[in-house]
Structure 1
Amino acid sequence: MVDDSGDSHSILENDAVGSPRENTIDDEAFPTLENQRNIITQLVNENQENAKEGDSVYIIPQFWYANFFDPQTIDPTQLGPIDTALICRDYRNFILVEYDKCPYISIPEPVFVKLVNWYGLANDSQPVSTHLVYDENHNLITEYNQCVFRVHHLVESDQDRRHGGGLNKRVSYFAISRLCTVKQLSIKILDTFFERESDLDVSKAKFKIWFVKYSEQVGSNSILNSSFKLDPLQFMELPLHRRITPLLFHHTLKEVDILTGDFVVELRQYNKNYHWLSNYFMYNQLTPSSGITGLYNLGNTCYMNSALQCLVHIPELRDYFLYNCFEDEINCNNPLGYQGYVARAFSGLVQNLFGCKTLSSGSTLTPAYSPTGFKSTIGHFNSMFSGYMQQDSQEFITFLLDGLHEDLNRIVDKPYIEKPSLSPEDDSNDFNVIKRLAEDTWKLHLQRNDSVITDLFVGLYESTLQCPECNNVSITFDPYNDLTLPLPVNTVWHCKVKVFPQNSPPCVLEVEMGKSSTYQNLKEYVAKYANIEPRNLYGCEIFSHQFYNNYESPESNSQFLPIQELISESDDVIFYEIVASQNDTIVPILNSRIEEGFKNPRLFGVPFFIVLSPEERVNPGAIRYKLEKYFSHLSGGFVEFPSLSEMENHSLPTLPLLREKYPEYTFDEYQEFLKYAVKEDIGTIDTHFKIKTIEETTTENEDDPNQQILPDNANQLPRFWTPYSPINVNRAKDISESLNPVVRDIYDYPSLLQAAKGPTMDDNGSNEQKDKVSDLQTEPTTAQDSDIDLENAQEEQQDENSVDSEPNEATTQNTNDNNDNQIIPLVNSQTFIVCEWSESAIQEVFSEDKLINWEKPAELKNTQLEVERQKRQQEEEKKITLHDCLKLFSKREVLGMNDSWYCPSCKEHRQATKQIQLWDTPDVLLIHLKRFENLRSFSDKIDEVVHFPITGLDMSPYLVNKGDPRGTIYDLVAVDNHYGGLGGGHYTAYAKNVDDSKWYYFDDSRVTETTPERGIASSAYLLFYVRRTADGKCGTHELQELIQKSRKNYDDRIRQMYDRQRMLFESNKTDSEEIADIEEDSSKIEQPREEDTPDGRVDSGDSGDSSEANGSTSSHENSVSARSADYSVRSLEVGRLQPRESLDENENNMSRRKLRILNKTYNEPSIAHSPASSVSSDGTDSISAALSQAKSGNDNILRSPTKD
């Protein structure tokens, strides 16, 4: 026996904390290090000779003690103070660090006192004391492992647990020596209890302390591990109950074999409870929950709450977890599972919603439950649900069902299997062949997947693919646990696109297609109505008079985005007809204008393309001819362009000025150039527009994948490309700069004619052309006047500098006599043309009186569009039914280019015809209405109302296998609703309660009665149907037997609990609870109101409580007090313990006062008068038996590991 009330600090001097004594102290006060070692050695030897059980020892770091005796340590200052913080994590509860991390050793108390007086304790360090004890071999060892106990509070109803009170769930614990007495243990229990329940009204209160010993039944999932507060049902389900009585107070824990376990404290307060809660079920009955319980929203968890309400109201799934059927089926070795945590969390949720409740008279069932623990478990295994962001209810259900399946999978070792399919010789039209394939698929599936989820939720669907070329048919079967149905709504994408034919005016086509259509579908649609080959159509988006998006680029989003995401209604999309051969070059054309008052040109009009052959690439006249021809179409029929007005082929005699200027030339090599010469005296060939070129550089295109410049490939069609935007048109160079003199004069023959006439003078005698140029050069410009920004201006200056420093090809040719007559290509695969227009030319060519031009294209009539719109309008007037969705689900569809199927017969990918049909349906049919269109870059919600049956849903018309003996009629049991859009919204649920067959609306914690018809709304998202059977049960025969067996065990457990309650009551009832005393004293107390007593019954009273209120005790309690006056205490102040008269002059601390209260509680028959004072679930292992063994010398002490 040890005195645990002393303070370890009392053995130390006041200056024991700090560094060693300084050398100024004399040798007698601070001996030399050698003398210290001798003193310590002598003390250790003396204590070893006289050591006995119960001696105090102190624990210090081993390395400090070893350094103290190390001969190499010659200066005491080398040692420093003793730092116990290195070895102790929790001084109060005696929790040491792992020995391997920092070894420690125990020393006798006199040795510790000497060392601390010499060297002191380090800052934040405290003495760490324990005792010597005998082990099972009767050897004295240090008690490094003290007894650790947990403390719980028995309460009538743990409301904090239902509200997710995290702090109240935390279990309190303490450590104490096995040599302490039961009296000291009781004080420690009450100390720990009152620290936790400091706000309790403990005046005129009584206490009981119950000991619960660990057993195999108290596993890692016991309520003792997770909750401080226990309700009466949880208390009664604990395996071993023993009550601490005053008779045991003078025994040590070692003697009574209380070495590890839990203590449950119950408190009875006057006018608050009339009976001890440990006898709760003697006066109250368990109340089955109706299941009409809401779930608190923990923060955007409505998606989880609605899904859970739907699932828990499926009768078979509820019963499976309510009656603990899952316990024997948990598969902790499944690598795909979660070691049973998900299954146990869901079971805990079900039991809190539907399990029996400890409901007494005057109280009501809690209207809502907080699923904090369940969400924490789900979030731990799936980060998507760990935070408090809004999530999709269907995704949550998918994860939960998959998690439950893997946790409860009955298959421990999954075999490797191959998915069966039809062999080439099988007849796909033979139903028996298909049925055999379905049965084989299901059997193989069950070899790897077999759980309660498989029993209830999983069915098979048949997938059929047919090759359009060879008609090869592939049939496979796949399992499903939720049926996702598309909604037959017209999700139409609408847009007007322009079409630029190569040899006719532009036109516009109105297009309507499905939102999920592809760019290739759009191109084929336009080609069909424009009567153009799809391979000759090239699509681009135009923005700010330049190419913005090249849909033909391999890097374009058009390769994978649906049309709705690729092109919006306001986009300017043009399809160009471009017919080109292998050696041709496709040249992008842009247009610029110099507005009056501005110096720099800016883009205008619509860009397009021309195709040039290798011969035309070197011929400026041919290039101009093609441009003017295209402009003729774009302008609505303007034909007065110079090249177009002279259709005859010119020869040298028709162009006399060339012969005069170049008499030595034969012009044989210039015949192709002469064909496009203009002989009219129009002043200059650039009358309407100048042709300028810009060579695209690869650097500019690296950042824009849609405009990426790819190398030419001679084996393919000419490369279609668009220049990088934005475009700085100031970089454009006049095409004439790249011409040799002869070609330039042929091309611009009108200028040669003008030069022969001499300069043209106006009436004032000035040169008109010079004046215009002079005006432009001297006119000031500002940032607003210019079409380019400062960055473009810098680029322009750099380009000018580069031109000056690095002469271009044309300049080089003009300065090199040997190359003067060389003919070079004017454009290449990276060149685009800019046509620079004058303002007057624009007004002339693109006059507003034209009915059709590039701004007002002709409308291409789409007759089929009107028919489709009328048909769609008629369909919109019809209401959508669930049957429409089921029909659409099994509709044949042609796979897209990106989803093509590899045909094993053709050995190529084909756009096969695909059809999915239901082979059979599970007992619980979960239907997911696909309201969210999950496209690649955004999603939308369909808010149409789908009308679905409440009862009698017949699935037979939609099943391939119509001979299911289980039946095909389903009844609705729950609806998961979603309000709002994808970015935000709210989830609720409708569910049918199987107990009263009524429907309820669950909106988080709010629950109201309703009708199922209210669920037929645009908010219905998930539908839960259950198969209608003759016996009203679902699932396999084995599952039904398992539920029935578990339910019987559950009922037996309840009956056993009542039996244990009666035994506990009989063996531990107080005098106030004895019926004889109740009847005798019933006339002396005030009768409680009927509504204040359990189950509406009038309690006959409790004489003990009544007498306590009058300041006296009952006769039974007085008898104990008279025999043992040391244990009598009257009352306890609320929130604070006031000192009272002491029966022992040294008994003046808080623990002693609490102990006196404890003794008052136990003024009842002792163990001597009640041999069966401890009751356990198995009726054995009582404290009395342990005490008898202790008296006979048969000690039972846990081994304590020795570290020294």
Structure 2
Amino acid sequence: MTERDFEAEEKGGGSKGKTVYVVEHRWFEQWKEFVETGDQNSPSFPGQINNTELFEDLDSYHLKERLVENEDFVLVPAEAWHKLQAWYGMVDGQPPLERKVVDLPSTLKVEIYPVEVFLCLHSNIENVITAEFSRADSILSIQKAMCQAFSVPSSSECRLWIKSLDSSCERLRNVHMSVLDACLSSGMTVIMETRNADGTWPSSRPQIMNSAEEQDSYRGQPGVCGLTNLGNTCFMNSALQCLSNTPPLTEYFLQSSYLEELNFTNPLGMKGEIAEAYADVIKQMWSGRHYSVVPRVFKTKVGHFASQFLGYQQHDSQELLSFLLDGLHEDLNRVKNKEYIELRDADGRPDQEVAEEAWRNHRRRNDSVIVDTFHGLFKSTLVCPECHKVSVTFDPFCYLSVPLPVSKERVMEVFFVSLDPYAKPVQMVVADVFNHRFYKIYNADESLSCILDRDDIFQQEEEQVLLALYLRERSHYRDYGSGSSSYGTTLFGHPLLLNVPRSSCNEEALYKLFLQRLATAFFVCVAQPYVAIDWDPEMKKRFYNENEAEKYVKHTSMEVPQQQTTVQLQECIELFTTVETLEEENPWYCPVCKKHQLATKKLDLWSLPEVLIIHLKRFSYTKFTREKLDSIVEFPLRDLDFSACLLRKNLSNGEPLSRYDLIAVSNHYGGLRDGHYTSYAKNKDNGQWYYFDDSKVTYAREDQIVVSISLSCTCTAIFVRTFIATMHSLTLITSSSICVVWRN
């Protein structure tokens, strides 16, 4: 099979029920390189299909969490998979990773992670079994599976309960609902009870946990209410807590003002469903009758209208917040019929005139509580590099997504292998080692941006001809399909780079060299600069010490702690307003030159909203790498003055000042693929700060918030001419941030 054959099969597209297979990304890339050469003796020969890098451990073969398609793995059509497995085989013991395309609301999706839940009977909660279900399965299918597993007659009258990760319990009343719509996620427990012969139930509810129904008698401070984690939904809970503590928006929903403005006919909206679901969550949180709310219906609605939030993968809280604000705006847009408005360029007119015109045009099509509260105005200036045409426009924004300064330097851990431990290294070769072979040997002028933090890097002094030496163990394996047995070879250990004089590239000289390295066989040094040495299993046990091969000496430079940089929030905004050149993928059409140009672009802040959301982009992405920036961002809790950042200096009488106070913060602890979101927020009624960690709520002191902000501001912050921020913990790496601010 060639790469072209594979692509032809892949273009068949996905259909409900279609089978695909998960293959480790680097093995697949190595296979592509191998088939491109067409040389059976190529060093890029991939060997047996090896998905080791995808598994948490090699006992249970559970997949690692948050694997990324086309970075960690690729999806291979079934027919292509069977051919690959027949030709290359699989590493002994590894199961094929078969997955199905399932029909989810608004999308077809390959279900990489089925929902793994615990099942038990109310009468015997100690007897727990584990089962996997598709998100497209119905709750009834779970009930049938439980009846079969626990030998419960199918004619028995049953009812099911969900025990969430925080031990709260909720009854599954609609058995025809899908696993997705029921917000059932991995790690949850489904408890089944059967009706007694006398018609009663064993209990009004399972007594092993607190049910949401037990909160009826609870009375507490309105707004001081946790949100149940439905399974990796801490990102959603954090964003909801920030918005819940934004006074203008919350008052709007608590007073039911939204009911008069629901727009059911807006084609860009969600038929009012997002607004109604959000209103229900806010009213519960501010009723004072719940210490925790289960946002199950809200989560389901979000997944229906935004397929990226289907299932229970971790997401960025800013991404959810952006979707929610846009959805609320369209659901509550007072403009029923949007008129077409032809946008005009400034053409030398005064900025004030052009800005007022742009804002009027914006309000003619977009008029909602979200626009009233969160929208401000940018000034965008484009300059053609050829004719110097200047184009000025004013555009609305809902939040500021500002960058953090990124250092061009990068610290990488390198393993250095010296031929002579006493010689001073002069010239080096950098090689990327993967799966016991050299995945790539870098040229001196080649960028290292594609090296990931998890990669092992080796350096070795270069002399004359560089020869790669691979270690292979003869192994027995069974061919796919035929059932016949045969012997093959499996790579092990670290490959070696040998410096060989050109005069020694002959059979006799290489033989002597390999004997010195305890080789048992050799191949003639031909055009391809690599050699593989086959070991008998018994000889490998006697002469190859794996622990010794893995040993290394740690250089003192590895013990020097990396210094964190500290920046002011104003510096991030200044960086946001810096002149930049457009990228080739996004050129600007110059009306004078009549062609697309890589113009320079500059954004300036013209006017700020009542509630200002600031997103600190701590996640840095390139073609090859993703990292979380750990710079410390500092800003005060009160009187944060944005006047120096505003282009418009002369405010009209009666216009609000540009000072803000912090009112909420979304925190993220962890790295790119893992971690946990929490939030700080200031209650609008009593002025007290609280710390929200899913269903848990505790008091917070202002000095705690200052420390958290300065150390780890990484997500989203909101200012209401006051102020909200998002951050990440210093104890791990930090990420992006959102701040919401309220104007004084």
Q: Cα–Cα, structure 1 residues 468 and 540, in superposed 2: closer, same or farther, change >3 Å?
A: farther
Structure 1 residue aligned with 2:265, among 333, 336, 345? 333
**Matched residue type, 1:943:** D
Structure 2 residue aligned with 1:786, among 507, 511, 523? 523
Instruction: Give the Cα–Cα distance (whole angstroms) in 2 for the partners of residues 963 and 943 of structure 1.
Output: 37
**Matched residue type, 2:369:** V
Instruction: Give the Cα–Cα distance (whole angstroms) in 1 for the partners of residues 282 and 169 of structure 2.
Output: 15
Q: Which residue of 2 aligns with 1:1005?
A: 695
Conserved? CA contact 1:164–1:373, under 8 Å: no
Q: Does 1:966 align with 2:656?
A: yes
Q: Which residue of 2 aligns with 1:932?
A: 619
Q: Does 1:410 align with 2:103?
A: no
Deviations 1:860-898 (A, max 9, x none): xxxxxxxxxxxxx9x978732212212221122334555
Instruction: Give the Cα–Cα distance (whole angstroms) in 2 for the partners of residues 391 and 407 of structure 1.
Output: 23
Q: Cα–Cα, structure 1 residues 369 and 438, in superposed 2: closer, same or farther, change >3 Å?
A: same
Q: Cα–Cα, structure 1 residues 997 and 470, in superposed 2: closer, same or farther, change >3 Å?
A: same
Instruction: Give the Cα–Cα distance (whole angstroms) in 2 for the partners of residues 970 and 294 of structure 1.
Output: 26
Q: Which residue of 2 aligns with 1:887?
A: 574
Instruction: Give the Cα–Cα distance (whole angstroms) in 1 for the partners of residues 426 and 403 of structure 2.
Output: 33
Structure 1 residue aligned with 2:370, among 445, 453, 466? 453
Instruction: Give the Cα–Cα distance (whole angstroms) in 2 for the partners of residues 231 and 546 of structure 1.
Output: 58
**Matched residue type, 1:1025:** F
Structure 1 residue aligned with 2:319, among 390, 395, 398? 395
Q: Which residue of 1 aligns with 2:407?
A: 490
Give the secondary structure class of the aligned counterpart of 1:990.
strand
Q: Does 1:979 align with 2:651?
A: no
Aligned-residue offset at 1:972: 0.8
Instruction: Give the Cα–Cα distance (whole angstroms) in 1 for the partners of residues 369 and 395 of structure 2.
Output: 19
Deviations 1:889-934 (A, max 9, x none): 1122334555554444344554433221111111110111111113
Q: Cα–Cα, structure 1 residues 568 and 1008, in superposed 2: closer, same or farther, change >3 Å?
A: closer
- The runs of 5 or more residues in structure 1 that have no matched partner are 1-161, 172-190, 202-227, 233-283, 358-364, 427-431, 497-506, 511-538, 575-589, 596-601, 607-634, 636-687, 691-728, 731-771, 795-872, 1037-1204
Q: Does 1:353 align with 2:46?
A: no
Instruction: Give the Cα–Cα distance (whole angstroms) in 1 for the partners of residues 529 and 641 of structure 2.
Output: 70
Counterparts of residues 1051-1070 of structure 1 (less than 5 Å): none
Conserved? CA contact 2:239–2:666, under 8 Å: yes
Q: Cα–Cα, structure 1 residues 999 and 1028, in superposed 2: closer, same or farther, change >3 Å?
A: closer
Deviations 1:391-439 (A, max 9, x none): 111111111111111111112122223333233xx2xxxxx62222222
Deviations 1:368-405 (A, max 9, x none): 12212221222222233232222111111111111111
Instruction: Give the Cα–Cα distance (whole angstroms) in 2 for the partners of residues 382 and 923 of structure 1.
Output: 28
Give the secondary structure class of the aligned counterpart of 2:361.
helix
Q: Which residue of 1 aligns with 2:297?
A: 373
Structure 1 residue aligned with 2:231, among 283, 295, 299? 299
**Matched residue type, 1:442:** W
Q: Cα–Cα, structure 1 residues 902 and 562, in superposed 2: closer, same or farther, change >3 Å?
A: farther
Q: Which residue of 2 aligns with 1:1027?
A: 721
Instruction: Give the Cα–Cα distance (whole angstroms) in 2 for the partners of residues 314 and 905 of structure 1.
Output: 46
Aligned-residue offset at 1:164: 6.5
Q: CA RMSD in A?
A: 5.2
Q: Which residue of 2 aligns with 1:719?
A: none
Q: Cα–Cα, structure 1 residues 448 and 1022, in superposed 2: closer, same or farther, change >3 Å?
A: same
Conserved? CA contact 1:545–1:605, under 8 Å: no
In the superposition, the TM-score normalised over structure 2's length comes to 0.51
Larger helix proportion of the pair: 1
Conserved? CA contact 2:722–2:742, under 8 Å: no
Counterparts of residues 650-799 of structure 1 (less than 5 Å): 784-787=521-524
Instruction: Give the Cα–Cα distance (whole angstroms) in 2 for the partners of residues 603 and 999 of structure 1.
Output: 60
Aligned pairs, number: 451
Instruction: Give the Cα–Cα distance (whole angstroms) in 2 for the partners of residues 200 and 593 of structure 1.
Output: 74
Larger strand proportion of the pair: 2
Conserved? CA contact 2:228–2:694, under 8 Å: yes
Conserved? CA contact 2:431–2:459, under 8 Å: yes
Conserved? CA contact 1:974–1:1023, under 8 Å: yes
Instruction: Give the Cα–Cα distance (whole angstroms) in 1 for the partners of residues 439 and 698 of structure 2.
Output: 61
Instruction: Give the Cα–Cα distance (whole angstroms) in 1 for the partners of residues 571 and 585 of structure 2.
Output: 28
Instruction: Give the Cα–Cα distance (whole angstroms) in 1 for the partners of residues 467 and 231 of structure 2.
Output: 60
Conserved? CA contact 1:342–1:378, under 8 Å: yes
Conserved? CA contact 2:662–2:742, under 8 Å: no
Aligned-residue offset at 1:167: 3.5
Give the secondary structure class of the aligned counterpart of 1:300.
coil
Instruction: Give the Cα–Cα distance (whole angstroms) in 1 for the partners of residues 310 and 521 of structure 2.
Output: 55
Deviations 1:83-126 (A, max 9, x none): xxxxxxxxxxxxxxxxxxxxxxxxxxxxxxxxxxxxxxxxxxxx
Q: Cα–Cα, structure 1 residues 198 and 951, in superposed 2: closer, same or farther, change >3 Å?
A: same
Q: Which residue of 1 aligns with 2:731?
A: none
Conserved? CA contact 2:669–2:675, under 8 Å: yes
Aligned-residue offset at 1:299: 1.6
Conserved? CA contact 2:398–2:613, under 8 Å: yes
Structure 1 residue aligned with 2:170, among 150, 165, 170? 165
**Matched residue type, 1:397:** L
Structure 2 residue aligned with 1:440, among 357, 374, 378? 357
Q: Which residue of 1 aligns with 2:308?
A: 384
Q: Percent identity?
A: 38
Deviations 1:1023-1078 (A, max 9, x none): 1100269xxxx999xxxxxxxxxxxxxxxxxxxxxxxxxxxxxxxxxxxxxxxxxx
Instruction: Give the Cα–Cα distance (whole angstroms) in 2 for the partners of residues 915 and 594 of structure 1.
Output: 51
Give the secondary structure class of the aligned counterpart of 1:318.
helix
Deviations 1:193-215 (A, max 9, x none): x96878579xxxxxxxxxxxxxx
Instruction: Give the Cα–Cα distance (whole angstroms) in 2 for the partners of residues 420 and 921 of structure 1.
Output: 22
Conserved? CA contact 2:451–2:625, under 8 Å: no
Conserved? CA contact 2:263–2:271, under 8 Å: yes
Structure 2 residue aligned with 1:476, among 380, 383, 393? 393
Give the secondary structure class of the aligned counterpart of 1:410.
coil
Aligned-residue offset at 1:992: 0.5
Instruction: Give the Cα–Cα distance (whole angstroms) in 1 for the partners of residues 379 and 215 of structure 2.
Output: 52
Q: Cα–Cα, structure 1 residues 299 and 793, in superposed 2: closer, same or farther, change >3 Å?
A: closer
Q: Which residue of 1 aligns with 2:240?
A: 308
Aligned-residue offset at 1:509: 11
Q: Cα–Cα, structure 1 residues 984 and 416, in superposed 2: closer, same or farther, change >3 Å?
A: same
Aligned-residue offset at 1:230: 13
Q: Which residue of 1 aligns with 2:38?
A: none
Deviations 1:314-360 (A, max 9, x none): 111111111211111111111221111111111100110113x6xxx
Conserved? CA contact 1:545–1:603, under 8 Å: no
Conserved? CA contact 1:411–1:448, under 8 Å: yes
User: If you compute each CA radius of gyration, which structure gives the higher value, 1 or 2?
Assistant: 1
Q: Which residue of 2 aligns with 1:1071?
A: none
Deviations 1:621-671 (A, max 9, x none): xxxxxxxxxxxxxx9xxxxxxxxxxxxxxxxxxxxxxxxxxxxxxxxxxxx
Give the secondary structure class of the aligned counterpart of 2:252.
helix
**Matched residue type, 1:393:** S
Give the secondary structure class of the aligned counterpart of 1:887.
helix
Instruction: Give the Cα–Cα distance (whole angstroms) in 2 for the partners of residues 786 and 169 of structure 1.
Output: 68
Give the secondary structure class of the aligned counterpart of 1:492.
coil
Conserved? CA contact 2:660–2:721, under 8 Å: yes
Instruction: Give the Cα–Cα distance (whole angstroms) in 2 for the partners of residues 571 and 896 of structure 1.
Output: 34
Aligned-residue offset at 1:481: 1.0
Instruction: Give the Cα–Cα distance (whole angstroms) in 1 for the partners of residues 430 and 221 of structure 2.
Output: 66
Give the secondary structure class of the aligned counterpart of 2:692.
strand
Instruction: Give the Cα–Cα distance (whole angstroms) in 2 for the partners of residues 475 and 509 of structure 1.
Output: 53
Conserved? CA contact 1:329–1:408, under 8 Å: yes
